[in-house]
Amino acid sequence: MAKSYDVVVIGGGPGGYSCAIRCAQLKLKTLCVEKDELGGVCLNWGCIPSKALISAAHTWHNFHTAGDMGIIVGAKPTLDAPKMQAWKNGIVKKLTGGVRGLLKGNGAEIAAGTAVITGKNTVEITDREGKKETVEAKNIIVATGSTTIEIPTFKFDGKTIIGAKEAVSLDAIPKRLLVIGGGVIGLELGCVYQSFGAELTVVEATPTLLPGTDPDCVAVLERRMTKRGAKIFKSAKAMGYERTATGISVKLDVGGGKTESVETDVVLVAVGMRPHSKGLGLETIGVKIDERGFVPTDTYCRTNVPNVYAIGDVSGAPLLAHKAVKEGVIAAEVVAGHKAAKDWVAIPGAIFTDPEIAAVGMTEEQAKAKGITVKVGKMPFAASGRAMAVRETDGFVKTVTDAKTGQVLGMHIVGPSASDLISEGSLALEMAAFAEDIALTIHPHPTLGEAVMISAEHALGHAIDIMNK
């Protein structure tokens, strides 16, 4: 007799494991199926490994510039890339082990294998030895995430033509790195290896790096990358490559009928992610999949088939781990009969480049496009005592407000700890705060967080620490 569950969650990434844990907490009999490793892309070769390497890159840079503070490092620092990888892998192992412990501790079952939906209430699981088992499910939650897009002319070989998965696992620092794609993944990893000494080239097909990000924030990042020697080609395309005696020669279409060749040692293809919706059996039970491969859902994370849900990357943009986690919890509570829905005002985004960029809500341009007259407050980190003390004075906090009401419409930060500071902007949007609310809130001194308060004061025209407009 087939095992029966209230919920079968397909996928054990941030969305899937969070959903399964919450389902189990709500006393639903739950099975979480993962074909690779628990933690998904995020824990195993995405968010966590890349941030570990980013931290190492910052430490490496600080060693080399500590003399500015009067700290003289006696011997020249050396980089042990294999040891750094072992350290990174230790973090990943601890976190994925923690996920397994949380699932089991909350009462969810785990199956290692590939799941295929064979009916509205049946899922076939093939384990890693090829053994098949069919289980019954009152509800099915698809949390299969996304996977790296591969360019036909740059097929991955795992060593010199690589994707993000390989880029976080390099045992040697390339002398030259060419990144195809000026988006989040490409620039985060590009900044890492540039800090470690790689000559960096970035090729982006659109007219700007990080399309959709506040252009003032992008300009700060681009200046720093260029100052450190990066070559950046915008409105350009990588057409193909050939191997030479000294590396890889990549042919670029730089526009206007012109081409250029750039020689490199490693090519990182980072042109985005595509949803993992094929091969799951969704079509066999009539679940709608759009032309891009995403599974559309309603405000309750439901697909067009009532007992089938989709969460995280597979259900559409933004492809962010924290969005997946939130949707996982919502889906679990909906299945359990609780009141829950996707009712957020805005989802924050964080880009862990050097410097960091973080944003939530509307940019100036987006607000103006909606016919809103805006007032903008801007606090540069160059005027922050704390930023000076940590030697991170590039960037600013920008607060976008409605000129008529003072309500906060968006916040955009580039600079030190931007990813941590943006949470205050997220809270401001969720609670429909006004610039005055932030300005009247006492922030501790001396901190980077003061810049958020001062940017709100600046929007109101009475900042103390910088000149007002």
Place of tokens 């260029």: 226
CB 118 within 8 A of CB 284: yes
On whether the CB atoms of residues 137 and 143 are closer than 8 A, the answer is no
Dihedral angle sign, alpha carbons of residues 453, 451, 317, 409: positive
CA distance 160 to 85: 18
Who's near 331: CB < 8 A, 6+ residues apart?
A: 19, 141, 300, 301, 309, 311
Nearest residue to 356 (alpha-carbon basis) of 396, 321, 323, 386: 396
Structural contact between residues 166 and 156, judged by C-beta atoms closer than 8 angstroms: yes
445 a catalytic residue: yes
Longest CA–CA separation in the chain, Å? 75
Residue that is written with structure tokens 């998904």 in the block: 40
Gap between the Cα atoms of 351 and 357, Å rounded: 5
What would the 3-class secondary structure string for the chain be?
CCCEEEEEEECCCHHHHHHHHHHHHCCCCEEEEECCCCCHHHHHHCHHHHHHHHHHHHHHHHHHHHHHHCCCCCCCCCCCHHHHHHHHHHHHHHHHHHHHHHHHHCCCEEEEEEEEEEECCEEEEEECCCCEEEEEEEEEEECCCEEECCECCECCCCCCEECHHHHCCCCCCCCEEEEECCCHHHHHHHHHHHHCCCEEEEEECCCCCCCCCCHHHHHHHHHHHHHCCCEEEECCEEEEEEEECCEEEEEEEEECCEEEEEEECEEEECCCEEECCCCCCCHHHCCCCCCCCCCCCCCCCECCCCCEEECHHHHCCCCCHHHHHHHHHHHHHHHCCCCCCCCCCCCCEEECCCCEEEEEECCHHHHHHCCCCEEEEEEEHHHCHHHHHCCCCCCEEEEEEECCCCEEEEEEEEECCHHHHHHHHHHHHHCCCEHHHHHHCCCCCCCCCHHHHHHHHHHHCCCCCCCCC
**Catalytic one among 61, 322, 445, 462?**
445
- Residues with catalytic function: 445
